[in-house]
Structure 1
Amino acid sequence: MKKTAVILLAAVVFVVAALSGCAKDSGNSESKTSAESKKIKIVTTIFPEYDWVTQILGSKADQAEVTMLLDNGVDLHSYQPTTEDIAKVKSCDLFIYVGGESDEWVSKALKDSTNKKMKVINLLDVLGDSVKEEESKEGMMPEKEEEEDGSDEPEYDEHVWLSLKNAKVLTKAVAKEIEALDPENANTYGKNEAEYLRQLSALDEKYKKAVRRSAGKTLVVGDRFPFRYMVDDYGLEYYAAFAGCSAETEASFKTISFLAKKVDKLKLKNIATIEGSDRKIARTIIKNTGKKSQHIVTLDSMQSTTSEDVEKGKTYLGVMTANLGVLKKALQREE
């Protein structure tokens, strides 16, 4: 009888302990879920937007859940959102996107949003009148669709992030919205913004200095040219095979010949391309120059940046600093 009572007592103690453990685990789980639900959910389309957000968050990065939709190397012009991407946009607290022709899918996603308090930043809207129309330069391959439909409707150059001046304006807009979403840490975000703007301005001055010192003021690009905002900032000239938003990949002999003659006339030592290029057009241009000895340099437009690149430490400022070195080479002329 005593033995039975001891067994029963042990069983009761075991059950109570088990229930207590479950309650404790449940409490931890609920606490974790609550903490996650309090995080600001920020969704960005492209890498520069993502990096600006992380720079503003700084040490408070744990206060937000930040998503970069274009994280696998697909550029803005080819991107098609998945069902999961749309769901993230619909439920986030802050959505940041470029706002050009490539983002036509956004309007429906925002219309069906489940978070009616969502804040939205459209880069082109923020920049207003400083947004430029896509430019067709002498010698550049025309877009096939332009030839076919003859449309006069303007197409805006979406690559606004490639201007440090624009980056400063856009960073301020991003900081303002993050501070509004998390007023408790607004002071920290404000300090991070001020420091980041200082770094952007310092790099901008380096670009100005480099251009002033350069004998050459024109570059030739055997590729698409998404850097119009950059060259306009510093009064530079350029010639390219295609416009920045072009989907064309084959250049005519007329375009190749035109660009080769420009290289000869300008006595350029280097021809530029952009990241991801197979360099085929640039090499063909070189073959058609007089010296045939030019080198190929690569500018990074940050359209193919992946999440893996981010994990390895890639930043907007880092890329723009590297682009300055490439720009110097692209402007070099033979003595």
Structure 2
Amino acid sequence: MKKCMFILAALLAFTGLIACGSSADNTAASPSAPSSGEDFSEASSAIVTTDAQSVPEKHLNIVTTIFPEYDWVREILGDNAGNADLTMLLDNGVDLHSYQPTAQDILKISTCDLFIYVGGESDGWVSDALQEAANKDMKVIDLLDVLDDAVKEEEIVEGMEAGEEHGDGEDEEHEEEEEGPEYDEHVWLSLRNAKVLCEAITNALTEIDPDHAADYRSNLTSYSEKLDALDAAYQSAIDSASRKTLLFGDRFPFRYLVDDYGLSYYAAFAGCSAETEASFRTITFLSDKADELNLTSVLTIESSDQKMAQTIIQNTKEKNQNILTLNSMQSVTSNDVAAGTGYLSIMESNLDVLKEALQ
């Protein structure tokens, strides 16, 4: 049944192209404000000529799943963004772990020149989408595949809820053997990973559009320098911090970030967990740990209602910790993009939060 859905989507893609082809070339959209998974670029794909011998400029069709990918592509395209239709599928705050593509999403992927996705367990639907794609020459970037050995397995630290109980130890062990390790998908929260991934994106763009290869390389160099500068700022701030431990009353998607700078952490749930209700045991452990380490803050991610963090604080001795929020970029909306939100601006804000949490 699932495969039939993708076949149907592919047929719809061809039908849509035939029926709407005459008007598609004249459609224009904004590159800075994605809306409901729609394509967006600064200029339409209409051919601009100066004389009869002019060659039309290649118009790129690029689809990304999450915000960091989208923003990296936008930075590398630079002034050539007007020659691209750039789509961010998760553009209205939908969480990566719960996202399911629509037929329209599959249609967009089917005909694009470049498709970028995370590649973890949450993207299990991608293989079927690519198998049914109309454009068999598209470039595909799987973030986890690019990072290879730098990808980390999901980690359960002391005090953390281990997830669903299977009740039978043998059954649980058997299931783990069948499924294999679960990898932490939140690779974009490392500035060092971002640099590697941006290079992979640049390589793909230069293959698709060699006429602008020099521009893409230049933009990559400029952006990489900004990533390096922010990485150095993180290292400096953490080296001089009086504390080296974070405590999250939430799930924890920042494994790559803390590992880059040698920080320790405690949290209620792992980064990919779907759990929202922590046990009394977990709450008590985190409250006691906050007291033991004399922590001044309990952290959450951007989509949290903060109730768990509040409960942890109420169970500490002093009951006076601050609640701080680190942005994992999993809830970025079209409005945020239109307002100028970027990968670097979010990571800069996260640095300010870390400085306060570790003081």
The two structures have a TM-score, normalised by structure 1, of 0.88
Tell me what 2:152 maps to: 132
Change (3 A) 1:29 1:52: closer
Secondary structure of the residue that 1:144 maps to in structure 2? coil
CA positional deviation for 1:177? 0.6
Secondary structure of the residue that 1:293 maps to in structure 2? coil
CA positional deviation for 1:272? 0.4
CA–CA distance in 2 between the matches of 1:46 and 1:70?
Answer: 6
More helix by share: 1
* Runs (4+) off by over 4 Å: 28-37, 145-149
CA–CA distance in 1 between the matches of 2:163 and 2:271?
Answer: 11
Code of the aligned partner of 2:154: E
Q: How high is the sequence identity, in percent, across the aligned residues?
A: 60
Residue 276 of structure 2 is aligned with which of 249, 266, 277?
Answer: 249
Offset from partner CA, 1:43-74 (integer Å, 9 cap, x none):
00000000000000111111111000000111
Code of the aligned partner of 1:140: M
CA positional deviation for 1:76? 0.3
CA–CA distance in 1 between the matches of 2:167 and 2:76?
Answer: 44
**1:238 and 2:238 aligned:** no
Change (3 A) 1:295 1:46: same
Code of the aligned partner of 1:173: A
Tell me what 2:320 maps to: 293
* Greater C-alpha Rg: 1
Residue 215 of structure 2 is aligned with which of 181, 188, 198?
Answer: 188
Offset from partner CA, 1:201-228 (integer Å, 9 cap, x none):
0000000000100010001000000000
Change (3 A) 1:220 1:146: farther
Equivalent pair of 2:45/2:59 in contact (CA under 8 Å): no
Equivalent pair of 1:133/1:155 in contact (CA under 8 Å): yes
Code of the aligned partner of 1:222: G
Tell me what 1:103 maps to: 123
CA positional deviation for 1:34? 4.7
CA positional deviation for 1:38? 3.9
CA–CA distance in 1 between the matches of 2:98 and 2:74?
Answer: 25
Code of the aligned partner of 1:114: A
Code of the aligned partner of 1:215: S
Offset from partner CA, 1:105-148 (integer Å, 9 cap, x none):
00000001100110000000000011000001111112116667
Code of the aligned partner of 1:240: A
Cα RMSD after superposing both structures: 1.9
CA–CA distance in 2 between the matches of 1:182 and 1:130?
Answer: 29
Tell me what 1:39 maps to: 59
Tell me what 1:66 maps to: 86
Residue 113 of structure 1 is aligned with which of 133, 153, 167?
Answer: 133
* Correspondence 1:151-166 to 2 at 5 A: 151-152=175-176, 153-166=180-193
CA–CA distance in 1 between the matches of 2:91 and 2:322?
Answer: 31
* Correspondence 1:315-326 to 2 at 5 A: 315-326=342-353
Offset from partner CA, 1:207-255 (integer Å, 9 cap, x none):
0000100010001000000000000000000000000000000001100
Secondary structure of the residue that 2:97 maps to in structure 1? coil
CA–CA distance in 2 between the matches of 1:325 and 1:46?
Answer: 24
Which deviates further from its counterpart, 263-272 or 45-54? 263-272
Tell me what 1:268 maps to: 295
CA positional deviation for 1:261? 0.8
Code of the aligned partner of 1:126: V
Residue 141 of structure 1 is aligned with which of 148, 153, 161?
Answer: 161
Tell me what 1:20 maps to: none
Which deviates further from its counterpart, 148-157 or 227-236? 148-157
**1:311 and 2:331 aligned:** no
CA–CA distance in 2 between the matches of 1:219 and 1:236?
Answer: 8
**1:48 and 2:75 aligned:** no
CA–CA distance in 2 between the matches of 1:180 and 1:209?
Answer: 37
CA–CA distance in 2 between the matches of 1:241 and 1:204?
Answer: 27
CA positional deviation for 1:81? 0.4
Unmatched 5+ stretches in structure 2 = 1-22, 28-43, 49-55
CA–CA distance in 2 between the matches of 1:248 and 1:147?
Answer: 17
Tell me what 1:12 maps to: none
Offset from partner CA, 1:252-292 (integer Å, 9 cap, x none):
11000000011111111111000010000000000000100
Offset from partner CA, 1:137-182 (integer Å, 9 cap, x none):
1111121166675132210000000000100000000011111111
Tell me what 1:229 maps to: 256
Equivalent pair of 2:110/2:132 in contact (CA under 8 Å): yes
State the number of aligned residues. Answer: 306
Code of the aligned partner of 2:149: D
Equivalent pair of 1:89/1:95 in contact (CA under 8 Å): yes
Code of the aligned partner of 1:97: Y
CA–CA distance in 2 between the matches of 1:165 and 1:200?
Answer: 8
Tell me what 2:205 maps to: 178
Change (3 A) 1:145 1:209: same
Secondary structure of the residue that 1:120 maps to in structure 2? strand
